[in-house]
Amino acid sequence: MKQIIAVITLLLLLPVAAIAQHENDMENGIVSLAGKEGFTIGTKKGDFIFKPYLLVQTAANLNYYDDEGLDPAYNQDNIANSGFSIPYAILGFTGKAFNMITFNLSINAAASGGALLQQAWFDVQLKRQFAVRVGKFKTPFTHAYLTTLGETLMPVMPISLTAPVILPHSLNAVTPNIGTGFDLGVEIHGVVKEKFGYEVGIFNGTGSSVNVASKTFSDDWHIPSLLYAGRVTYMPKGVMPATQGNPNLLNEDKMLFGLSTSLNVESENESTNDYRAGAEFAMLKKRLYLGAEIYYMNVGFTKRQKIDESYNYLGGYVQGGYFVTNRLQATARYDFMNRNGLDTNGFLNMPAVGINYFFKGCNLKLQAMYQFTGRTGHDTQLDRDNDDLGLAMHSGTVLLQYTF
């Protein structure tokens, strides 16, 4: 009964604030229209607009992995997962109709399976304060994911959001990460007085690679085994653009404070219930961008797993970027994570530095970054070795991006 009350409370508390994700009628989460119109088809009245868009990223990657103290006889490779990659190759279109419906569909040709369909949604705005979105889109959790994809500060997301946690049980199905990303569902959202807004939604909780209805009822809580999520923000200087760096927005003065939370009921093949919560800050002040987040996840096993313990994880980052010139942005980020859980000493600290260069008049963006994955405070060498399993100690990425 306590868990049901928690879900109801979550849905009731969230409708109060403002969000950058839905600030623009032509918002698509991939390509910003700031300072450019591109190719658009529309009626003279402006009640119907159709705009195709494109984002292609190609990257060179170099990753060096620690040998974790293994005997050289194992002949492990220190250099792995290196070479060239295409993180995203997205073709999509967005638009609006009848002055109240916006829509978006995008295909990521660099993905496979269900993730090929990156987004597919339409949004009905009855008024500025109340709209309903249905389909596949970004879940309302973390500033890092809700930033326009082509305008992220670094070419690689914070590892504290994307790395699977370490659990002291050999259950291969239980490898949740803190970030939630794209999912299928429905949400209500709105903006009040251009400063306060909200998003409250219910999603499958199966992530971007599943496009079918595959969930059931919770055996433990007797409610639908779905992802219940919400986010509220306060922006004292008006709606903040969903960007971490845009040469066409060098005179902005915006600030954002946000809180988000979610509960994924019987996620990970019905083995755990995952609760997440996060707090975020972002600021644009002329040439300067600053951002910071901290997030928490509790992983609790279902009764059928016969494991009484629950596990708690904490992560976050602080990052900033400054336009040294109108085209060159210097960047830095400090990322941290208790990947082994709060009950085990030690955490990952992952500093990164980089630069972004925006070519004039052709929509090309060059990004380069270096990241080091350090480990500190562990009680044993085994804890230390487990903490960075699958993570490169030294990582370098150079990415060239084109948008249309």
The series of mean pLDDT values per 10 residues for the chain, 404 residues long, is 43 35 59 66 83 95 83 72 96 90 95 95 92 97 94 96 85 78 96 93 94 90 94 95 93 96 85 94 97 96 83 97 98 96 92 97 95 93 84 96 93
Per-residue DSSP letter, 284 = E
Asked if residue 31 lies in contact with residue 150, where contact means CB atoms within 8 angstroms, the answer is yes
Q: What is the pLDDT of residues 258-267, one digit of tens each?
A: 999 999 998 8
Radius of gyration of the chain (CA): 21
Owning domain of residue 311? 1-403
CATH number at residue 305: 2.40.160.10
Res 5: pLDDT:
42
Q: Which of helix, strand or coil describes residue 387?
A: helix
**Any idea which residue has 């969903």 for tokens?**
242
CA distance 251 to 284: 9
Rounded Cα gap, residues 210 and 204, in angstroms: 9
Question: What pairs with residue 370 in β-bridges?
Answer: 353, 396
Q: What is the total residue count of the chain? A: 404
**How many structural domains are present in the chain?**
1
Contact 86, 110 (CB under 8 A): yes
Task: Give the pLDDT of residue 164.
Answer: 92
Query: Which are the contacts of 319, defined by CB distance < 8 A and separation ≥ 6?
Result: 153, 154, 244, 290, 291, 292, 331, 332, 333, 334
pLDDT of residue 99: 83
What was the pLDDT predicted at 13? 37
Amino acid identity, position 362: C
What six digits make up the tokens of 342? 């709060």
Confidence (pLDDT) at 1: 44
Residue closest to 164 by CA, chosen among 174, 149, 150, 154? 174
- Portion of the chain with pLDDT greater than 70, in percent: 88
| Calpha distance 55→240 (Å, rounded) | 22
What was the pLDDT predicted at 122? 95
pLDDT recorded at residue 308:
80
| pLDDT score for 6 | 46
**Rounded Cα distance, 198 and 230, in Å:** 7
